[in-house]
Amino acid sequence: MRTYKVGGAVRDRLLGKPVTDIDWVVVGATTEEMLAKGFRPVGSDFPVFLHPKSGEEYALARTERKSGRGYGGFTFHASPEVTLEEDLIRRDLTINAMAEDDQQNLTDPYHGQRDLEARLLRHVSPAFAEDPLRVLRVARFAARYAALGFTVAPETLELMRQLSESGELQALTAERSWKEISRALMEDQPQVFIEVLRACGALKELMPEVDALFGVPQPQAHHPEIDTGAHTLSVLEQAARHKQPLTVRWACLLHDLGKGLTPEEEWPRHIAHEFKGLKLIKAVNERFKAPKDCQELALLVGEYHTHGHRALELKPSTLLELLQSFDVYRRPQRFEEFIAACEMDARGRRGLEQRSYPQVDYLRGAATAARSVAVQPLLEKGFKGPELGEAIKRERLKALKAYKETASF
Ligand code: CTP
């Protein structure tokens, strides 16, 4: 029985990147031998075990065959006769199909090292098509390694295109897709993830609402980049540059979906796109079962981002409605994330990336002003029930009027 490090651990060591988790492949062993050595089996689907001490994953060398549509349609074959090369050939990318023994001797039958040097994400073999999730994985790796100069090999992009066209992506579960999407959005260049998905036709399959934004013009005066798809990518780029959390990045991706619904004769204006986009945002949220905080923020940013941009012109009563919609009193963090998404939206415009955005401080100040209204004195005056609610609102409105008059913006 021989064990080798495989996959990301080998790839990232060769790239000089920190290695976080190590996957191992075991050649020449049976399940019984693994159990006898104290390894703990993981689930019942695959011959994968956890090391009794390190907790790292050890998988028996296996070959895989796809026997049907979707993720359930797998059969695999693991036996002590399966060679390291046979195990590596069923993997996704050449740079992920290298193995290393405990002396750091590399087994690299599919030239992963050469592709690392050439900065190419290239599939190992036609077996790539056995798992459509790999389309998303390649796009995610493209986003992660874009700064190093990596691109997708043309023949791999072609295979991804065929897989996308075949309708296979529809069979992916929401959970598997979301895991890839959320990880990709947290990379340094998440816009590359969307670009690669679009280039192979997968974006149209996965998020047609985002795909539809490409080719839709916006008024040049506000949006020098004109194209709504290009704008969305820039907003995402800014969100990563400003190290925004996943919630904000997700909201950035979906904030303008309504613009894809504007009839051509109304271009480049997009009247009420904020409201029209809500049903699309809801659909995308639900399709991928995005976590609740991501879903909520995306909907709120979709509905109110232009309020954010016009913050300084808003009447105190509108400002109050905005703050109430966000429940800033109990959910201060969510309002901060909204402000951040608005700022990223403003910065995601060509040539305007560095322009000051006083709306951030103004909105923050407004939230503080509204929050400063104390409930106790109103209770002491005898207000209760709905009347108390009204009295609090009146006081908050007063506070916002005073804020608007005195704030120096
Ligand atoms: N793998 C694959 N196809 C998949 C998932 C995984 O071929 N759909 C293989 C690849 O060889 C990959 C290895 O299994 O390198 C481990 O997968 P995983 O831990 O998901 O990814 P890593 O490559 O380690 O990358 P990351 O740094 O993103 O975790």
* Measured CA distances, 211 to 193, 195, 204, 259, 317 (Å): 13, 10, 5, 11, 37
Separation between Cα atoms, residue 47 and residue 45, nearest integer Å: 7
Q: Is 256 annotated as a binding residue?
A: no
Q: 42, 64, 91: which to mutate for ligand 1, most atoms within 8 A of CB?
A: 91
Q: Is 23 annotated as a binding residue?
A: yes
Closest by CA position to 163, among listed 121, 204, 129, 122: 129
Structural domain ending residue among the three candidates 91, 112, 133? 112
For residue 96, report the distance from its CA to the centre of ligand 1, in Å.
7
Domain that holds residue 29: 1-112
For residue 369, report the distance from its CA to the centre of ligand 1, in Å.
50
Hey, how many other C-beta atoms are within 10 angstroms of the C-beta on 248? 26
Residue 124 within any structural domain of the chain: no
Residue 252 within any structural domain of the chain: no
Torsion of CA 268, 272, 274, 277, to 10 degrees: -80
Separation between Cα atoms, residue 11 and residue 113, nearest integer Å: 8
Q: Is 108 annotated as a binding residue?
A: no
Output the residue whose Cα is nearest ligand 1's atom 17.
Answer: 7
Q: Model confidence over 193-241: pLDDT tens digits? A: 999 999 999 999 999 999 999 999 989 988 899 999 999 999 999 999 9
Take residue 123 and report the two structure tokens written for it: 């599939």
Q: Model confidence over 143-192: pLDDT tens digits? A: 999 999 999 999 999 999 999 999 999 999 999 999 999 999 999 999 99
For residue 72, report the distance from its CA to the centre of ligand 1, in Å.
18
Residue 340 within any structural domain of the chain: no
Q: What pLDDT shows up at residue 311?
A: 96
Q: Is 140 annotated as a binding residue?
A: yes
Query: How far separated are the first and last CA of the chain, in Å rounded?
Result: 71
Question: Position of tokens 């950035």?
Answer: 252
Q: What is the Cβ-side half-sphere exposure of residue 289, based on CA atoms within 13 angstroms?
A: 9
225-233 LR contacts (CB < 8 Å, sep 24+): 225/349, 225/350, 226/268, 228/256, 228/259, 228/260, 229/198, 230/350, 231/256, 231/348, 231/349, 232/194, 232/256, 232/348, 233/191, 233/194, 233/195, 233/348
Q: Which residues pair with 74 in a beta bridge?
A: 66
Residue 6 within any structural domain of the chain: yes
Structural domain ending residue among the three candidates 112, 142, 160? 112
For residue 40, report the distance from its CA to the centre of ligand 1, in Å.
21
Residue 376 within any structural domain of the chain: yes
Q: Which residues, other chains included, contact 247 with Cβ-Cβ below 8 Å and sequence gap of 6+?
A: 293, 294, 297, 337
Separation between Cα atoms, residue 201 and residue 15, nearest integer Å: 29
Pocket around ligand 1: residues whose beta carbon is below 6 Å from it?
Answer: 7-8, 23, 91-92, 96-97, 131, 133-134, 137
Residue 76 within any structural domain of the chain: yes
Q: What pLDDT shows up at residue 75?
A: 73
Please give the number of the atom of ligand 1 that sits closest to the Cα of 20: 27
384-409 burial, b if ≥16 CB within 10 A, otherwise e?
eeeeeeebbbebbbebbbebbeeeee
Q: Is 361 annotated as a binding residue?
A: no
Please give the number of the atom of ligand 1 that sits closest to the Cα of 91: 7
Ranges of residues in the chain whose predicted pLDDT is under 50: none
Take residue 338 and report the two structure tokens written for it: 């909204």
Q: Which residues pair with 49 in a beta bridge?
A: 41, 58
Where are the alpha helices (H) located in 37-173, listed in sequence order? 84-89, 112-118, 133-145, 154-165
Residue 42's CATH number:
3.30.460.10
Q: Model confidence over 105-118: pLDDT tens digits? A: 999 999 999 999 99
Separation between Cα atoms, residue 42 and residue 50, nearest integer Å: 7
pTM: 0.94
For residue 91, report the distance from its CA to the centre of ligand 1, in Å.
8
Please give the DSSP secondary-structure letter assigned to residue 6.
E
Residue 287 within any structural domain of the chain: no
Structural domain ending residue among the three candidates 81, 97, 112? 112
Closest by CA position to 198, among listed 182, 215, 186: 215
Q: What pLDDT shows up at residue 67?
A: 55
Packing angle, helices 190-199 and 228-241, rounded to 10? 150
Contact 305, 252 (CB under 8 A): no
Q: 10, 23, 24, 187: which to mutate for ligand 1, most atoms within 8 A of CB?
A: 23
Separation between Cα atoms, residue 404 and residue 409, nearest integer Å: 9
Residue 291 within any structural domain of the chain: no
The DSSP-derived string for 44-64 is: SSS-EEE-TTT--EEEE-EEE
Number of structural domains in the chain: 2
